[in-house]
Amino acid sequence: MTALRHFLEIDDLSPAELTDVLDAAERRDPPRVLAGRGMALVFEKPSARTRSSMELAVVQLGGHPVSIRADEVAIDVRESAEDIARTLSCYHAAIGARVFQHDKVERLAAAASVPVVNLLSDHEHPCQALADLLTIRQQFGSFDGRTVAYIGDFNNVARSLALGAAAVGMALRIATPPGRAPTAHDVDRVRGAGAEMLVTHRPEEAADGADVIYADVWASMGQEAEAAARKLEFEGFTIDDALMARAADDAVFLHCLPAHRGEEVAASVCDGPQSRIWQLAENRMHAQRGLLVWLLERAGGA
């Protein structure tokens, strides 16, 4: 048994460990590391894809997922994050949490005696990044020489994607409106992962010759009141056929979903031949299954 490992940010894994997780995700005969055991899935912030993909990943490893709604476990309202982590550690082999504030998953991990997985926070979405990397590797065979262009708000999805892409050696381009770009700290983290990141306010500059064009919604859950203002702010950042035509001939379009056709992406791109959004959606389940195998084998769960 090795030291307990958590997965709160994509760079909690080294490049070699990322490869091990992606390899585990591809296994069609995964070890049943959760046989007779449970995993608690705490949903302060609801999600159809995250719940379905993680519950099925747990089942495929022989385990029993227990999804817990926000009204059943009100973090820091009814009970502290620390006491919730200690309680759930009594019953489960692992804990997953989808929360608003990132510090809540950090506090859960600090108090838990089992691995904790960040299913999404306002700071990062590392499980999505694992699926992103898995899909890109499946599409191109390797990461060598590939360029990822993210167009839109530099949010939690973009941050995890950038750090994951940097870790595996891909080139990065980020196109955002002014005021939505990566911070100096974000740029330093990407450089620390071994990559430079082009930051521009021109989507065309980011898309030129890129292998992957990536988008997310302009207003995420919890930002609904800002949606109208953001539509104006992001005008000109829609990924349409003209923008895709600037990418490499074999480029693919990815989106973490849900997609708002006609806003961040045109329907002709989202549902077109270059789109791999449903392959990516399925890969959430496979990537998370690979992650759980990796974490639980190191926690003595195999």
Q: Measured on CA atoms in the order 181, 284, 190, 140, is the torsion positive or negative?
A: negative
Residue 249 gets which letter from DSSP? T
Rounded to 5°, angle at Cα 189 from 188 and 192: 85
Question: Which residue among the candidates 153, 186, 211, 216 is catalytic per the annotation?
Answer: 216
DSSP 8-state symbol, 11 = G
Q: Are 186 and 153 in contact (CB under 8 A)?
A: no
> Which of 123, 284, 286, 289 is an active site residue?
284
Answer for the pair 117, 6: CB distance below 8 angstroms, yes or no.
yes
Which of these is catalytic: 37, 123, 125, 230? 125
The two tokens of residue 16 are 């070699």
Query: b/e string for 74-106 if b means 16 or more Cβ within 10 A?
Result: ebeeeeebeebbeebbeebbbbbbbbeebebbb
The torsion angles phi and psi of 290, rounded to 5 degrees, stand at -60, -40
Q: How far apart are CA 171 and CA 101, in angstroms?
A: 29
User: Catalytic one among 6, 92, 98, 146?
Assistant: 98
Element (H, E) at 299: none
First to last CA, the chain: 10
| Amino acid making up residue 139 | Q
How many other CB atoms sit within 10 Å of the CB of residue 189?
Answer: 18
146 is catalytic: no
Exposure of 289 in the CB half-sphere (CA atoms within 13 A): 27
| Catalytic (active site) residue 27 | no
60 is catalytic: no
Query: Can 98 be counted among the known catalytic residues?
Result: yes
Which residue in 256, 276, 288, 289 is the catalytic one? 256
Catalytic one of 128, 211, 255, 286: 128
| Annotated catalytic residue 101 | no
216 carries an active-site annotation? yes
Residue positions annotated with a catalytic role: 98, 125, 128, 216, 256, 284
